[in-house]
C-alpha cells in the first residue's frame, strides 16, 4: 500500500502546449515576428518546465499550415527536445486554410 502512495505522489501533471502557426503568404511581411514570437513562447514553456519540474511535464506540438500543406513540426515532444525556429524553418507561401489546420490538430 505504501508503494502505491509513493507512485501516486510521484506522478506529474502533463501539460500539452499546442501552437498553430499560419504559414500562408500573408505572413511573409511579418515572418521574422512570427519566428521570434514562436521562439519567445518556447522559452516561456521551458521556463515553466524548469520552475515546476517536480510536479509537471511540458510537451510541445507545433503545427504550421498554408493551403498547400499542414505540417506537424513537433508532435507532443518534451519541451527540452523542442528547438527554436529559424527563418529557414518557416517559409510562408500559398493561402490560409485555418479551419483545416484546426481540424488536423
Q: What is the pTM of this model?
A: 0.80
Task: Tell which phi-psi region holds residue 67, choosing left (phi > 0), alpha (psi between -120 and 50) or beta.
Answer: alpha
How much is the pLDDT for 7?
57
pLDDT in tens, 1-26: 555 555 556 799 999 999 999 999 99
How much is the pLDDT for 89?
93
pLDDT exceeds cutoff 70 at 81: yes
Classify each residue of 61-100 as buried b or exposed e, where b means 16 or more C-beta atoms within 10 Å of its C-beta.
bbbbbbeeebeebbeebebeebeebeeeebebeeebbeee
Per-residue DSSP letters for 58-87? EEEEEEEE-SS-EEEEEEEEEGGG-----G
pLDDT in tens, 29-60: 999 999 999 999 999 999 999 999 999 999 99
Amino acid at each position: 500500500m505504501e508503494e502505491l502512495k509513493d507512485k501516486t505522489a510521484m506522478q506529474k501533471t502533463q501539460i500539452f502546449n499546442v501552437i498553430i502557426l499560419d504559414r500562408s503568404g500573408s505572413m511573409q511581411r511579418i515572418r521574422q515576428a512570427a519566428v521570434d514570437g514562436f521562439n519567445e513562447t518556447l522559452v516561456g514553456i521551458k521556463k515553466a518546465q524548469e520552475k515546476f519540474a517536480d510536479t509537471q511535464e511540458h510537451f510541445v506540438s507545433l503545427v504550421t499550415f498554408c493551403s498547400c500543406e499542414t505540417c506537424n513540426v513537433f508532435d507532443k515532444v518534451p519541451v527540452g527536445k523542442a528547438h527554436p525556429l529559424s527563418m529557414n524553418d518557416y517559409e510562408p507561401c500559398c493561402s490560409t486554410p485555418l479551419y483545416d489546420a484546426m481540424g488536423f490538430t
